């Protein structure tokens, strides 16, 4: 930008994966009329694809985008989980285990 009053026209997200694509989806849903949203990801770096989990906030996130579970669950080959346990995630004896329903 050469002029301090000039507004950006596009937003570029560098890096795909869950975080990159969620960021791109959110920005596109909220700001696609104002900005051009672009995501750049490497063809050489694969995705984790296994072991990723979420908390109940994910459902709220997709609802904010106007997406139903039937829109994204099959496409992601996702499964429902009834809870997640975090074991040995702290050095404190008091917090060795945490379970989130």
Residues 36 and 68 in one domain: no
Q: Which residues are catalytic?
A: 81
Q: Is residue 16 part of a domain?
A: yes
For residue range 33-70, list pLDDT tens digits in order. Answer: 999 999 999 988 877 665 667 777 888 899 999 999 89
pLDDT at 2: 62
Residues 28 and 66 in one domain: no
- Strand, coil or helix: 93: helix
Residue 15's pLDDT band (cuts 50, 70, 90): very high
Which residue, among 51, 61, 46, has the nearest Cα to 84 in the 3D structure? 51
Mean pLDDT for the stretch of residues 67-90:
85
Q: Is residue 5 part of a domain?
A: no
Specify the residue for token string 């009329």: 33
- Per the structure, the complete domain to which residue 33 belongs is given by 10-42
Structure pTM? 0.69
Q: How many CA atoms lie within 13 A of 14 on its CB side?
A: 0
Specify the residue for token string 């050095």: 91
Cβ neighbours of residue 25 closer than 8 Å, sequence gap 6 or more: 65
């Amino acid at each position: 930008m050469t002029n301090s009053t000039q507004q950006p026209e596009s937003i570029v997200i560098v890096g795909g994966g869950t975080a990159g694509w969620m960021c791109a989806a959110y920005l596109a849903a909220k700001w696609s009329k104002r900005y051009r949203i672009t995501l750049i990801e490497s063809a050489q770096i694969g995705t984790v694809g296994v072991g990723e989990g979420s908390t109940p906030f994910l459902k709220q996130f997709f609802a904010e985008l106007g997406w139903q579970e039937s829109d994204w669950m099959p496409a992601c080959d996702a499964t429902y989980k009834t809870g997640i346990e975090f074991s040995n995630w702290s050095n404190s004896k008091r917090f060795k285990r945490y379970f989130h329903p």
